[in-house]
Amino acid sequence: MSMEQRLVRTFVELADTLVREFDFVDLLHTLAERSVELLDADAAGIILADQRGQLQVVASTTQEAHILELFAVQVSEGPCVDCYNSGEIVANVRLDEAADRWPNFTPAAAEAGFRSTHAVPLRLRDQVLGVVNLFCSRQATLSERDIAVGQALADVASIGLLQERAMLQGELLAEQLQTALNSRIRIEQAKGVFAERAGVEIDQAFTMMRQFSRQTSRRLSDVATGVIEGTIDINEMQPH
């Protein structure tokens, strides 16, 4: 199979991962495996930044790569950390020449059997989501074409991740909005119930419910539910 055919197959596979029931772990593992295959590496690890900006190892092709990535995140040092911080590709690094740059990472990488490394950012424009880190057991050099391929693969995955985050945020926002609407309906019902039982005006009923909510440190929606269900005595809310 030619390189072009392998690329087409890989992009179709990544696209299929995106359109099926979305599983970002599956997507990232696919990305790691195909990056190793297409860029002639021996192992890959992927890190993502969580909502607090903390780097987390989320996928790897070998146990050695997984342990090395965990170590890099722990000591905040290595190609993946530099790549994430700069948003730029770190390519063709000979680890035997990087001891000054990464004094903790390089001996750990050598112990794992790696001699060269590359890191490709998962990004969309200026937003960096994480990094694909490639490890080689020999002195491997990526051409400009290889680097372009690696970045293209990472870009496809980045779009999928951002879409998933947007969907989750949208679902959360919709849920919060629906909760607010439901609460508002419940409060309106409670105002009517309170006004009828206490013989007061609607606006006065709402004021008394609100005061009771603040005095008892209860949510207004919970007070409204109590009024409707009769679990809160409205006499407790009336001024004495």
Q: Do 63 and 160 reside in the same domain of the chain?
A: yes
* Burial class (CB within 10 angstroms; exposed 0-12, middle 13-18, buried 19+) of 69: buried
**Conformational region of residue 121, where left means phi above 0, alpha means psi within -120 to 50, and beta covers everything else:** beta
Please give the DSSP secondary-structure letter assigned to residue 187. Answer: H
Domain extent at residue 201: 176-236
Q: How far apart are CA 74 and CA 194, in angstroms?
A: 58
10 Å Cβ neighbour count for 53? 7
User: Residue 40's pLDDT is what?
Assistant: 87
Co-location of 38 and 143 in the same domain: yes
Judgement on whether residues 152 and 181 belong to the same structural domain of the protein: no
pLDDT above 90: residue 213: no
Q: Is the pLDDT of residue 21 over 60?
A: no
Last residue of a domain, one of 168, 191, 207: 168
What is residue 87's predicted lDDT score, i.e. its pLDDT? Answer: 93
pLDDT tens string 158-210 = 776 766 655 556 555 455 446 655 777 887 798 899 888 888 888 788 788 87
Domain identity same for 117 and 147: yes
Q: Are residues 70 and 135 located together in one domain of the fold?
A: yes
Q: Are residues 104 and 193 both part of a single domain?
A: no
Q: Are 156 and 129 in contact (CB under 8 A)?
A: no
Which helix (H) or strand (E) segment holds residue 117: the answer is strand 116-124
For 76-116, how does the pLDDT look when each residue is reduced to its tens digit (9 = 90+)?
999 999 999 999 999 999 999 999 999 999 999 999 999 99
Q: Return d(Cα 153, Cα 140) in angstroms, integer.
A: 19
